[in-house]
């Protein structure tokens, strides 16, 4: 097998490979940089993979050893030129050089390792071992001794990286609700600076919002006939604090990136977009047509709004899986924006109520997803609605109290955004997790 064939065979098996089910026609190495010489050695590759008319770009950190220890077998790519090749991100003897290079602001050929000036993590903290975080879908993160986390993008796209851009801006404002960036790795692709990895503060002893919410929901469902407000695992205090943190993040985003208004034309255009998505969804999932009139009515109320709507930079993909509770408060992660949208749209201003809608839908999911497999699902429906409503109200109260636009007084816009999110979820679930499509459909029936 050629070097390229070996890489292609391995690549298509990886979870983060985007072209699943498609045939890889051609893999070409477009950049090859030696980061660590010798044995073990580390090479950084940028490869393009074409599937017919389209092509994707990936970066690979290829480790090289004459002899592969058992602990690295699972990361093996294959043998080439008398050396064993493997995914170098799993080898802490190699990844340490990435951390050291960032903390030393090193340039290696076309790779630039950059440290954020004034960042708290000092060069003395180099030399740490790394562990690969499990459970991620599209990127690979390395945790360095509970001090820092390096998020390595697998697929790379040229141009500004919204997560780094927002992280740097909010850190400069002193936000306590982000994991501030310590540094990054970049190169140039198609003439544009391209971010390959971001090093940030590691949140110690933190739990993600989705798991915390799920624990609260399980606790409620363990007591038949129980009410969310009386359950020992009540989440409303946390939901309210999350609302406060969200409003503070929005205020910082407004300060850092500016504000504007959507006038009545822009609002009509937004309503048109929502209609188009609804039409597409009804075509894909006919069951949705049961709710189409109700949803359409909400969109036409939106189109008739004459008051301008404030717009600013937002998170764009906001849900319980993107927030973590540390010992001192909520931290918001992953400012990449809406995954399916083009870069310009992900960085564009829109209503901050989009994020509010995202989180409220997430509360609904947290409550309902456990019913999908629960033996007493039918009896627990009222408890699920009760949990979702209680925590949504608490979140909105916290958001408004901390200076965010009161979701209750912007109900036409919020309702349209909530319905649109649920419509999007119906399409997503029908394609990816058919067993869950009932979750957004049930919510649409209730909304």
Ligand X SMILES: Nc1ncnc2c1ncn2[C@@H]1O[C@H](COP(=O)(O)OP(=O)(O)O)[C@@H](O)[C@H]1O
Applying CB under 6 A, the residues found at the interface with ligand X are 133, 136, 138-139, 141, 149, 151, 179, 200-203, 206, 208, 321-322, 333-334
Contact 197, 151 (CB under 8 A): yes
Kindly tell me which of 238 and 334 has the beta carbon lying closer to Mg ion.
334
**H or E element at residue 246:** helix 236-257
Kindly tell me which of 234 and 334 has the beta carbon lying closer to Mg ion.
334
How long is the chain? 447
> What is each CA distance from 433 to 137, 280, 324, 325, 430, in whole angstroms?
15, 18, 25, 28, 6
* Residue of minimal Cβ distance to Mg ion: 334
For the bound state, the minimum distance from the C-beta of residue 149 to ligand X, rounded and expressed in Å, comes to: 5
**H or E element at residue 88:** none
Strands, E assignment, 267-417: 309-312, 323-325, 330-332
Residues at the contact surface with Mg ion, assessed by CB under 5 A: 334
What residue 138 binds from Mg ion, ligand X, none (CB within 5 to 8 A, per partner kind)? ligand X
Kindly tell me which of 250 and 319 has the beta carbon lying closer to Mg ion.
319
For the bound state, the minimum distance from the C-beta of residue 266 to ligand X, rounded and expressed in Å, comes to: 29
For the bound state, the minimum distance from the C-beta of residue 242 to ligand X, rounded and expressed in Å, comes to: 15
Task: Say what the alpha-carbon torsion angle 196, 31, 33, 342 is, to the nearest 10 degrees.
Answer: 0
3-state secondary structure of 92: helix
What residue 141 binds from ligand X, Mg ion, none (CB within 5 to 8 A, per partner kind)? ligand X
For the bound state, the minimum distance from the C-beta of residue 304 to ligand X, rounded and expressed in Å, comes to: 37
Kindly tell me which of 141 and 175 has the beta carbon lying closer to ligand X.
141
Kindly tell me which of 60 and 228 has the beta carbon lying closer to ligand X.
60
Residues 154, 164: Cα–Cα separation, whole Å:
16
For the bound state, the minimum distance from the C-beta of residue 43 to ligand X, rounded and expressed in Å, comes to: 24
What residue 203 binds from ligand X, Mg ion, none (CB within 5 to 8 A, per partner kind)? ligand X
Strands, E assignment, 309-403: 309-312, 323-325, 330-332
What residue 202 binds from ligand X, Mg ion, none (CB within 5 to 8 A, per partner kind)? ligand X
Strands, E assignment, 37-102: 41-51, 54-65, 76-80, 83-87
Residues 241, 395: Cα–Cα separation, whole Å:
7
For the bound state, the minimum distance from the C-beta of residue 164 to ligand X, rounded and expressed in Å, comes to: 12
What residue 387 binds from ligand X, Mg ion, none (CB within 5 to 8 A, per partner kind)? none
For the bound state, the minimum distance from the C-beta of residue 336 to ligand X, rounded and expressed in Å, comes to: 6
Kindly tell me which of 158 and 321 has the beta carbon lying closer to Mg ion.
321
For the bound state, the minimum distance from the C-beta of residue 416 to ligand X, rounded and expressed in Å, comes to: 26
Residues 10, 13: Cα–Cα separation, whole Å:
6
Kindly tell me which of 49 and 179 has the beta carbon lying closer to Mg ion.
179
Residues with Cβ < 8 Å from 413, sequence gap 6 or more? 302, 305, 309, 351, 353
Kindly tell me which of 91 and 334 has the beta carbon lying closer to Mg ion.
334
Kindly tell me which of 202 and 330 has the beta carbon lying closer to ligand X.
202
**H or E element at residue 115:** strand 111-115
- 443 by Cβ neighbours in 10 Å (0-12 / 13-18 / 19+) ranks as buried
Contact 337, 317 (CB under 8 A): yes
Kindly tell me which of 90 and 151 has the beta carbon lying closer to ligand X.
151
Residues with Cβ < 8 Å from 337, sequence gap 6 or more? 162, 315, 316, 317, 345, 346, 347
For the bound state, the minimum distance from the C-beta of residue 159 to ligand X, rounded and expressed in Å, comes to: 17
For the bound state, the minimum distance from the C-beta of residue 137 to Mg ion, rounded and expressed in Å, comes to: 9
Q: At what angle do helices 438-446 and 353-368 cross, to 10 degrees?
A: 110
């Amino acid at each position: 097998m050629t070097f390229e064939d070996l890489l292609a065979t391995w690549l298509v098996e990886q979870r983060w490979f985007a072209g699943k089910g498609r045939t890889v026609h051609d893999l070409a190495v477009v950049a090859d940089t030696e980061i660590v010489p010798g044995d073990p050695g580390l090479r950084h590759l940028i490869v393009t993979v074409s599937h017919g008319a389209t092509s994707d770009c990936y970066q690979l950190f290829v480790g090289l050893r004459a002899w592969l220890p058992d602990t690295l077998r699972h990361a093996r790519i294959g043998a080439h030129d008398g050396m064993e090749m493997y995914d170098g991100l799993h080898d802490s003897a190699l990844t340490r050089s990435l951390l050291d290079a960032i903390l030393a602001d090193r340039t290696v050929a076309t790779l630039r390792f950059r440290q954020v000036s004034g960042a708290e993590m000092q060069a003395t903290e180099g030399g740490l071992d790394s562990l690969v975080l499990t459970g991620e879908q599209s990127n690979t993160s390395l945790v360095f001794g509970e001090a820092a986390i390096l998020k390595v993008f697998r697929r790379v796209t040229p141009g500004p990286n919204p997560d780094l851009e927002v992280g740097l801006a909010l850190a400069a404002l002193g936000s306590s609700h982000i994991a501030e960036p310590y540094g990054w790795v970049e190169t140039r692709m198609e003439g544009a600076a391209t971010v390959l990895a971001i090093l940030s503060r590691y949140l110690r002893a933190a739990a993600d919002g989705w798991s915390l919410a799920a624990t609260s929901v399980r606790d409620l469902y363990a007591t038949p006939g129980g009410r969310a407000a009386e359950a020992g695992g009540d989440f409303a205090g946390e939901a309210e604090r999350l609302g406060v943190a969200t409003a503070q993040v929005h205020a910082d985003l407004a300060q850092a990136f500016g504000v504007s208004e959507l006038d009545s034309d822009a609002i009509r255009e937004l309503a048109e977009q929502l209609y188009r998505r609804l039409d597409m969804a009804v075509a894909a999932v006919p069951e949705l047509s049961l709710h189409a009139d109700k949803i359409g009515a909400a969109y036409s109320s939106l189109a008739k709004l004459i008051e301008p709507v404030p717009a600013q930079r937002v998170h764009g993909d906001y849900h319980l899986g993107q927030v973590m509770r540390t010992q001192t408060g909520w931290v918001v992660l992953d400012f990449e924006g809406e995954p399916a949208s083009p870069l310009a749209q992900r960085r564009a201003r829109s209503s901050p109520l989009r994020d509010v809608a995202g989180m409220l839908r997430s509360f609904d999911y947290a409550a309902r997803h456990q019913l999908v497999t629960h033996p007493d699902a039918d009896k627990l429906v009222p408890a699920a609605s009760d949990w979702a409503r209680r925590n949504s109200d608490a979140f909105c109260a916290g958001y408004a109290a901390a200076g965010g636009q009161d979701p209750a007084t912007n109900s036409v816009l919020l309702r349209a955004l909530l319905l649109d999110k649920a419509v999007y979820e119906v399409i997503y679930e029908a394609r990816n997790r058919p067993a869950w499509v009932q979750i957004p459909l049930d919510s649409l029936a209730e909304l």
